[in-house]
């Protein structure tokens, strides 16, 4: 596969960024022919996946594909370069986009959603932005695509157009824009002013150039400026975003958007601060506490949610802070764990959301208390749900186990007992809010079918296909973690 039809890695990279945009342009042309429109989406997703695989192959072989910089004005460049972590993120996003596209088609048609064309356009733009974030070679580029991602997902959140959706959209947009503009942008410009560059570089660019106190201040600005990482108290947008159609929640609010957040945090810590420099400065310790707090509190809140998607949202908040926590442990092995958890959580959380959407499409149920016995009618869906839940808890043989294992290893090796405690406690909490759902779904008697709850079977086949695929992926990733693990270790220079 190496080389393939495109000899130049750079050409492939350029295409990778352009393909989703082409999709976004083509989709409205077929707005009157839904079948053609969906074909465009699927072809775009398929081509994109191929391209990303080619790129991954190059990166795994030590290549560093990059594009010629585009100068905005002297001193500010839009520049792309793929490092291992970005590759991992792009791979995750591109892979899951295919599955999600299939799922979206089933979901949007199954629910007769209005305005599907703008929906698919925004989706394609969001994927474009995600890839831009993954490939960004400097802070400005990262920021640019971060904002495009926010803006392109805002219409998806308000898709329903009712007052609830608009209110949620407001929270979503204002919180994400406010944090990024108020904290992230000054942090970026400040960093540029202090370090003289904005480029991501192994070992960081701030090391030796700023005082430890300043590092702490900048870290604060970055962590809270990247509101997409949903570290408390800037997490409110995530539950609000759950009014969006489920495919949006699944791909964007479980994969692209939130992972863009934690990805940015990891990237900033590794390539701007430098893991060693930050550990020596000693002013980043608070991050572990903040992340730990978020993990626990979000889990406790999740425990009390009856709305399935809301519970999943708070679970996401908690899982995101795992990544931040792993980063804050500041050892190479824990950062490998962070990277692994990005991949693992993506594939398992998307499974859970797919299942939630499947239940909504087939049975029009949204609350957990309504799900008694549903496993008998929707065995595929609920089995997939169970696998995703196990991965959330971190039990083998699911992908979620790997990330937690590396995190724990890192924390134990450096005798950081607070993170260890947090991880153990939260694992119990995760079990507490997921296992009852599974138990009730399979072992409790379903309510009798009546006018409001007509008998139903599985959801449309594209939905079932998609969630089966991701559930299988969740298990496969445990047995064959090769590609993401290699990329994660390459990031930390361990390979």
Partner 1 sequence: MISHHLPVLIVLVPLFGALLSALTSRGSVSWGIALIAMVTTLAATIGLLSEVLHDGVISYEIGGWAPPIGIEYRVDLANALVILIVSTIAAVIMPYARVSVAKEIVEDQQAWFYTMYQLCVAGLIGIAVTGDAFNAFVFLEVSSLATYTMIALGQSRRSLLSAYQYLIMGTIGATFYIIGVGLLLTITGTLNFVDLAARIAVTPYDRAMLTALAFITVGIGLKLALFPLHVWLPNAYAKAPSTGTALLASTATKVAVYLLIRMYFSVFGIDNIIGDFPVLELLLVLSIAAMFFASFVAVFERNVKRLLAYSSVAQVGYMILGLSMATSTALTGTLVHLANHALMKGAAFLAIGAVAYQLGSVSLEKMKGIGRVMPVTMGCFVVAGLSLIGVPGTVGFISKYYLVVAAFEKGWWWLAFMIVASSLIAVFYVGRVVEVAWFSEPDKKTSELKEAPLSLLLPTVVLAAACVFFGVDASLTAGLAEAAAKALFGGSL
- The count of chain residues that interact with partner 1, using the rule CB under 8 A, is 32
| By CB under 8 A, residue 1 contacts partner 1 | no
From candidates 62, 74, 112, 450, binder to partner 1 by CB under 8 A: 74
Stretch of residues binding partner 1 (CB under 8 A), selected from 1-9, 175-183, 326-334, 440-448: 175-183
From candidates 171, 189, 418, 425, binder to partner 1 by CB under 8 A: 189
Stretch of residues binding partner 1 (CB under 8 A), selected from 173-181, 300-308, 367-375, 379-387: 173-181
| By CB under 8 A, residue 108 contacts partner 1 | no
Q: Minimum Å distance from CB 278 to partner 1?
A: 21
Q: Minimum Å distance from CB 48 to partner 1?
A: 21
Q: Which is nearer to partner 1, 30 or 442 (CB)?
A: 30
| By CB under 8 A, residue 261 contacts partner 1 | no
| By CB under 8 A, residue 219 contacts partner 1 | no
114 within 8 A of 158, measured Cβ to Cβ: no
Which residues in the 130-149 window bind partner 1 by CB under 8 A?
140, 143-144, 147-148
87 within 8 A of 133, measured Cβ to Cβ: no
From candidates 190, 236, 289, 405, binder to partner 1 by CB under 8 A: 190
| By CB under 8 A, residue 14 contacts partner 1 | no
Q: Minimum Å distance from CB 32 to partner 1?
A: 15
Q: Which is nearer to partner 1, 179 or 440 (CB)?
A: 179
From candidates 122, 173, 232, 250, binder to partner 1 by CB under 8 A: 173
| By CB under 8 A, residue 70 contacts partner 1 | yes
Q: Minimum Å distance from CB 125 to partner 1?
A: 12
| By CB under 8 A, residue 214 contacts partner 1 | no
| By CB under 8 A, residue 440 contacts partner 1 | no
From candidates 3, 7, 68, 161, binder to partner 1 by CB under 8 A: 161
From candidates 71, 306, 367, 413, binder to partner 1 by CB under 8 A: 71
| By CB under 8 A, residue 53 contacts partner 1 | no
Binding site for partner 1 (CB under 8 A): 70-74, 76, 78, 140, 143-144, 147-148, 151, 155, 158, 161, 165-166, 169-170, 173-174, 177-178, 181-182, 185-186, 189-190, 192-193
């Amino acid at each position: 596969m190496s080389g393939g039809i495109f000899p130049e890695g750079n050409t492939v990279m350029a295409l990778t960024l352009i393909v989703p945009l082409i999709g976004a342009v083509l989709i409205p042309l077929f707005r009157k022919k839904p079948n053609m429109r969906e074909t465009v989406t699927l072809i775009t997703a398929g081509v994109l996946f191929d391209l990303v695989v080619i790129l991954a192959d190059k990166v795994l072989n030590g290549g560093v594909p990059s594009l010629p910089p585009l100068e905005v004005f002297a001193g500010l460049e839009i520049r792309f370069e793929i490092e291992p972590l970005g590759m991992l993120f792009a791979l995750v996003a591109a892979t899951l986009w295919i599955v999600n596209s299939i799922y979206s088609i089933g979901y949007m048609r199954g629910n007769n959603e209005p305005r599907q064309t703008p929906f698919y356009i925004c989706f394609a733009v969001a994927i474009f932005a995600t890839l831009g974030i993954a490939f960004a070679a400097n802070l400005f580029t990262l920021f640019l695509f971060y904002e495009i991602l926010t803006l392109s997902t805002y219409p998806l959140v308000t898709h329903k157009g009712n007052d609830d959706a608009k209110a949620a959209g407001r929270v979503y947009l204002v919180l994400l824009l406010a944090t990024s503009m108020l904290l992230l942008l000054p942090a970026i410009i400040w960093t540029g002013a202090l370090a003289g560059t904005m480029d991501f570089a192994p070992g960081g660019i701030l090391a030796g150039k700023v005082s430890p106190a300043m590092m702490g201040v900048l870290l604060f600005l970055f962590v809270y400026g990247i509101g997409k990482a949903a570290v408390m108290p800037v997490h409110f947008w995530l539950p609000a975003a759950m009014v969006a159609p489920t495919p949006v929640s699944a791909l964007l609010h479980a994969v692209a958007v939130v992972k863009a957040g934690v990805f940015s945090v990891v990237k900033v810590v590794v390539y701007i601060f430098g893991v060693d420099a930050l550990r020596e400065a000693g002013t980043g310790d608070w991050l572990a506490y903040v992340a730990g707090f978020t993990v626990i509190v979000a889990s406790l809140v999740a425990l009390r949610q009856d709305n399935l998607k809301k519970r999943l949202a708070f679970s996401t908040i908690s899982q995101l802070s795992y990544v931040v926590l792993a980063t804050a442990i500041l050892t190479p092995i824990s950062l490998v764990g962070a990277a692994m958890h990005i991949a693992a959580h993506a594939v398992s959380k998307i499974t859970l959301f797919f299942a939630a959407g499947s239940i909504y499409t087939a049975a029009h149920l949204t609350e957990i208390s309504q799900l008694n016995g549903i496993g008998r009618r929707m065995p595929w869906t609920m089995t997939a749900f169970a696998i995703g839940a196990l991965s959330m808890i971190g039990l083998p043989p699911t992908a979620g186990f790997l990330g937690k294992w590396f995190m724990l290893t890192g924390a134990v090796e450096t005798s950081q007992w607070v993170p260890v405690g947090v991880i153990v406690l939260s694992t119990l909490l995760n079990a507490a809010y997921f296992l009852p759902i599974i138990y009730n779904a399979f072992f409790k008697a379903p309510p009798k079918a009546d006018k409001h709850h007509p008998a139903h079977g599985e959801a449309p086949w594209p939905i079932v296909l998609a969630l089966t695929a991701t559930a299988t992926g969740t298990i496969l990733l445990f047995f064959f973690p090769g590609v993401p693990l290699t990329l994660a270790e390459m990031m930390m220079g361990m390979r």
